[in-house]
Amino acid sequence: QVQLVESGGGSVHDGGSLRLSCAASGVTYSTKCMGWFRQVPGKEREGVAAIDDGAGFTYFADSVKGRFTISQEKAKNTVYLQMNSLTPEDTAMYYCAAHSGLCFGIGDASDYNYWGQGTQVTVSS
Protein backbone atom coordinates (compact mmCIF):
# COMPACT_ATOMS: atom_id res chain seq x y z
CA GLN A 1 0.00 0.00 0.00
CA VAL A 2 1.16 3.52 -0.79
CA GLN A 3 0.43 6.56 1.30
CA LEU A 4 0.75 10.06 -0.14
CA VAL A 5 0.76 13.13 2.05
CA GLU A 6 0.65 16.62 0.57
CA SER A 7 1.74 19.80 2.25
CA GLY A 8 2.55 23.37 1.34
CA GLY A 9 -0.80 24.77 0.31
CA GLY A 10 -1.97 28.16 1.46
CA SER A 11 -3.14 31.59 0.41
CA VAL A 12 -1.13 33.98 -1.73
CA HIS A 13 -1.74 37.08 -3.79
CA ASP A 14 -1.83 37.21 -7.56
CA GLY A 15 1.72 36.73 -8.85
CA GLY A 16 2.88 34.89 -5.78
CA SER A 17 4.53 31.49 -5.43
CA LEU A 18 4.00 28.31 -3.48
CA ARG A 19 5.76 24.97 -3.30
CA LEU A 20 3.73 21.85 -2.70
CA SER A 21 5.30 18.68 -1.38
CA CYS A 22 4.12 15.10 -1.66
CA ALA A 23 5.74 12.54 0.59
CA ALA A 24 5.27 8.91 -0.42
CA SER A 25 5.56 5.98 1.93
CA GLY A 26 4.78 2.32 1.79
CA VAL A 27 5.29 0.28 -1.37
CA THR A 28 7.07 3.02 -3.28
CA TYR A 29 7.97 0.85 -6.25
CA SER A 30 4.31 1.40 -7.12
CA THR A 31 4.93 5.10 -7.62
CA LYS A 32 6.56 5.02 -11.02
CA CYS A 33 4.55 7.97 -12.25
CA MET A 34 3.81 10.80 -9.86
CA GLY A 35 1.29 13.44 -10.77
CA TRP A 36 -0.35 16.56 -9.45
CA PHE A 37 -4.01 17.25 -10.11
CA ARG A 38 -6.30 20.05 -9.06
CA GLN A 39 -10.00 20.40 -8.65
CA VAL A 40 -12.47 23.18 -8.01
CA PRO A 41 -16.03 22.51 -6.87
CA GLY A 42 -18.30 21.52 -9.73
CA LYS A 43 -15.48 20.75 -12.13
CA GLU A 44 -13.57 17.63 -13.06
CA ARG A 45 -10.17 16.93 -11.62
CA GLU A 46 -7.55 18.45 -13.92
CA GLY A 47 -4.05 17.09 -14.45
CA VAL A 48 -1.40 19.72 -13.80
CA ALA A 49 1.97 17.98 -13.98
CA ALA A 50 3.63 14.59 -13.81
CA ILE A 51 7.10 13.16 -13.43
CA ASP A 52 8.51 9.79 -14.40
CA ASP A 53 10.19 8.35 -11.34
CA GLY A 54 12.89 6.58 -13.31
CA ALA A 55 13.95 8.81 -16.20
CA GLY A 56 12.81 12.05 -14.61
CA PHE A 57 10.80 13.16 -17.64
CA THR A 58 8.31 15.86 -16.77
CA TYR A 59 4.96 16.79 -18.25
CA PHE A 60 2.79 19.87 -17.78
CA ALA A 61 -0.66 21.05 -18.67
CA ASP A 62 -0.66 23.94 -21.14
CA SER A 63 -2.25 26.17 -18.52
CA VAL A 64 0.79 25.93 -16.24
CA LYS A 65 3.71 25.56 -18.65
CA GLY A 66 6.45 28.05 -17.92
CA ARG A 67 5.05 28.77 -14.45
CA PHE A 68 5.08 25.40 -12.65
CA THR A 69 7.88 22.91 -12.28
CA ILE A 70 7.80 19.39 -10.88
CA SER A 71 10.79 17.72 -9.28
CA GLN A 72 11.63 14.81 -7.05
CA GLU A 73 13.96 14.06 -4.19
CA LYS A 74 14.33 10.31 -4.31
CA ALA A 75 16.17 10.02 -1.01
CA LYS A 76 13.09 11.42 0.69
CA ASN A 77 10.51 9.79 -1.62
CA THR A 78 9.14 13.28 -2.12
CA VAL A 79 7.84 15.08 -5.18
CA TYR A 80 7.53 18.85 -5.34
CA LEU A 81 5.38 21.19 -7.36
CA GLN A 82 6.87 24.67 -7.54
CA MET A 83 4.19 27.13 -8.59
CA ASN A 84 5.20 30.62 -9.70
CA SER A 85 3.27 33.55 -11.13
CA LEU A 86 0.09 32.24 -9.58
CA THR A 87 -3.24 33.69 -10.67
CA PRO A 88 -6.72 33.40 -9.16
CA GLU A 89 -7.45 30.79 -11.85
CA ASP A 90 -4.97 28.49 -10.09
CA THR A 91 -7.15 28.42 -6.98
CA ALA A 92 -8.12 24.80 -6.32
CA MET A 93 -7.58 21.79 -4.13
CA TYR A 94 -4.35 20.18 -5.27
CA TYR A 95 -3.87 16.43 -5.09
CA CYS A 96 -0.80 14.27 -5.40
CA ALA A 97 -1.30 10.96 -7.16
CA ALA A 98 0.73 7.95 -8.23
CA HIS A 99 0.53 4.86 -10.38
CA SER A 100 2.88 2.05 -11.21
CA GLY A 101 2.53 2.16 -14.97
CA LEU A 102 4.69 3.80 -17.59
CA CYS A 103 4.64 7.56 -17.49
CA PHE A 104 4.05 8.97 -20.99
CA GLY A 105 2.31 12.10 -19.84
CA ILE A 106 0.01 13.37 -17.13
CA GLY A 107 -2.77 11.03 -18.20
CA ASP A 108 -6.23 10.92 -16.70
CA ALA A 109 -7.17 10.80 -13.05
CA SER A 110 -8.47 7.26 -13.67
CA ASP A 111 -4.91 6.12 -14.48
CA TYR A 112 -3.78 6.76 -10.91
CA ASN A 113 -4.14 4.21 -8.14
CA TYR A 114 -3.07 6.26 -5.16
CA TRP A 115 -4.13 9.70 -4.00
CA GLY A 116 -3.28 12.07 -1.22
CA GLN A 117 -5.83 13.92 0.84
CA GLY A 118 -5.31 17.22 -0.98
CA THR A 119 -4.02 20.63 -0.03
CA GLN A 120 -5.85 23.89 -0.73
CA VAL A 121 -4.27 26.64 -2.80
CA THR A 122 -6.01 30.00 -2.85
CA VAL A 123 -4.81 32.91 -4.96
CA SER A 124 -6.42 36.28 -4.38
CA SER A 125 -6.43 39.19 -6.79
Report whether pLDDT(102) > 90. no
For 27-54, b/e burial (b = at least 16 CB within 10 A) is eeebbebbbbbbeeeeeebbbbbbbbbe
Q: For 40-94, what is each residue's pLDDT tens digit?
A: 999 999 999 999 988 889 999 999 999 999 999 988 899 999 999 999 999 999 9
Pairwise CA distance, residues 93 & 34, whole Å: 17
At residue 21 the predicted structure's pLDDT band, cuts being 50, 70 and 90, is: very high
Contact 125, 40 (CB under 8 A): no
